[in-house]
Amino acid sequence: MADTERPQITLITPPALDLEVFPDLLARVLDSVDIACVRLALAGKDEDMIMRAGDACRLVSHARDVAIVIENHLLMVERLGLDGVHLTDGARQVRYVRKELGPDSIVGAFCGVTRHDGMNAGEAGADYIAFGPVGATPLGNGAQAEFDLFEWWSQVIEVPVIAEGALTADLVAKFGPVTDFFGIGEEIWGAEDPVQALRALIAPLG
């Protein structure tokens, strides 16, 4: 799949949202760039904040026929009318979550840099696997998801794969032929114009 199609974009929200500003900004990004899916990556455990943020982002996304998933908060999927969940702990919960949400919901799994974990998540019913970071970052343990992992995955495994974490335009150019999606968020939200930043980042995709 990755060899024949231009990678699509999963847009990852900031961990904290200003609901006075962010819904309009999200709308502008979705109206300017072709986005396949929005991922709510909210930090904290304030249920009211998560509900309000999820509701606002769902309205913006669904108005544009863009799917929206939430990181980890399984119970919020049905409550907020979201399209699925993105699990950040690899394969561990995939089978359970798939059973809970049913076959029509999106279930994705972030598997770090571990091929084995990715394969287990795919076998357990994940719709996609995310590996990262692909770029250098001082966060975490410094491990990076190497080009060889994506190259192997695109040749051998049919489950779609997302490349994410510390992306640059050069990395987008390099990984474009071997990934199905790029997960982009932190790279653009701090910019003066996130739309312009996103366009510059994915310019190598043509």
CATH code, domain carrying 169: 3.20.20.70
Question: So what's the pLDDT on residue 138?
Answer: 86
Bridge-based pairing of strands 128-131 and 67-71 is: unpaired
Please give the residue range of the domain that contains residue 93: 8-205
- Contacts of residue 198, Cβ cutoff 8 Å, sequence gap at least 6: 9, 29, 32, 33, 184, 187, 188
| Both structure tokens of 149 | 């992992």
Q: How many domains does the chain have?
A: 1
Q: Is residue 161 part of a domain?
A: yes
Report the alpha-carbon distance of residue 119 to residue 114 in Å, rounded: 9
Amino acid at the residue 23: P
In a domain, 3, yes or no: no
Give alpha helix (H) positions in the chain: 22-32, 47-63, 74-80, 94-101, 115-123, 147-156, 169-175, 186-189, 194-202
Residue 146: inside a domain: yes
Alpha carbon distance 206, 34 (integer Å) = 12
Q: Count H helices, E strands: the chain?
A: 9, 8
> Quick check: is 88 in a domain?
yes
Distance CA 150, CA 156 (A): 10
For residue 1, is it within any domain? no
pLDDT along the chain (206 residues), means of 10: 74 97 98 98 93 98 98 96 97 97 97 97 98 92 95 97 98 98 97 98 96
User: Phi first, then psi: what are they for 163, rounded to 5°?
Assistant: -100, 130
Helix (H, G, I), strand (E, B) or coil at 87: strand
Residue 202 makes CB contacts below 8 A (sequence gap 6+) with 9, 33, 169, 172, 182, 184
Q: What is the pTM of this model?
A: 0.96
Domain-embedded: residue 2: no
Please give the Cα distance from 17 to 23 (Å, whole number). 9
